Amino acid sequence: SQQGEEDPQALSIQEGENATMNCSYKTSINNLQWYRQNSGRGLVHLILIRSNEREKHSGRLRVTLDTSKKSSSLLITASRAADTDSYFCATPTYNQGGKLIFGQGTELSVKP
């Protein structure tokens, strides 16, 4: 089954605006993780929110998790051109391996 489907697929905003990306998943999770990706640095971990948490902040990032709706959102406040990247949510499996299942991602473009 698909896990971690993001929407929108692409988002274009002006610098200073807030960017909101959503993620839905299908099975039970113990945490949900957000990553960003650019061609230079590969995948960079942004934030992890555990299933018993509803909201978490890190700098300009705010993540929410609604386990009843099996959804999460990533908010980037006061966006900058340097935030332009692809953003993915990922959910780990419960088993020993703990593989991450990634969504398709949201391509964020922040125009100066």
Partner 1 sequence: EPEVTQTPSHQVTQMGQEVILRCVPISNHLYFYWYRQILGQKVEFLVSFYNNEISEKSEIFDDQFSVERPDGSNFTLKIRSTKLEDSAMYFCASSGVAGGSNEQFFGPGTRLTVL
Judging by beta carbons within 10 Å of its beta carbon (0-12, 13-18, 19+), is residue 2 exposed, middle or buried?
exposed
- Per CB under 8 A, the list member of 67, 73, 104, 109 interacting with partner 1 is 104
Which one of 11-19, 37-45, 60-68, 70-78 is the stretch in contact with partner 1 (CB under 8 A)? 37-45
- Per CB under 8 A, the list member of 1, 41, 52, 69 interacting with partner 1 is 41
Which one of 8-16, 18-26, 33-41, 62-70 is the stretch in contact with partner 1 (CB under 8 A)? 33-41
C-beta of 95: minimal distance to partner 1 in Å?
7
The SS3 assignment for 76 reads: strand
Under 8 Å CB-to-CB from 79, ≥6 apart: which residues? 13, 15, 16, 17, 18, 19, 60, 108, 110
